[in-house]
Structure 1
Amino acid sequence: MNECTYKNYDELPLMLNVVQVAAVLGISRAGAYELVHSEDFPTLKIGSRIVVPKDKLREWIDANTAQK
């Protein structure tokens, strides 16, 4: 797994690449690629690059966090 070097949300870049998404979520790179190719995950494709806006990532996390 990738280790995240960011200490808080404000340190994240505006757009995260797949490797950064993996590090932030604490998942494998393969898992991050699977996630960014899923239908409901917020991605922006620029040419062949896939990036994730940090505010949309946070919204996705909030929307997909189970409330108990």
Structure 2
Amino acid sequence: MIKRGWEKKLEPLTVRIATAVRITGISRSRIYELIQSGDLDVVKVGRATLIQYASLKALTSQNE
């Protein structure tokens, strides 16, 4: 499959809770605490809770 230049730079708009846990190493319960405190922006689509990827990146980059 041929990848175009713009395809390599694409990031997801949102990720599910399980994906956020896997890519950050933060526990599931801590993710929910961060959502409750407003530190992570979420979107509800039906029953699914989706975390905005930009919000997740901002959270993890502020600790650097």
Q: TM-score by structure 1 length?
A: 0.56
Partner residue, 2:40: 41
| Contiguous gaps of at least 5 residues in structure 1 | 1-9
Unaligned residue ranges in structure 2 (runs of 5+) = 1-8
User: Which protein is bigger by CA-based radius of gyration?
Assistant: 2
Structural RMSD (CA): 2.4
After superposing on structure 2, the runs of 4+ consecutive aligned residues of structure 1 that deviate more than 6 Å are none
> Any conservation in 2 of the 1:13–1:54 contact (CA below 8 Å)?
yes
Higher relative helix content? 2
How many correspondences in the alignment? 56
Percent of residue pairs identical: 25
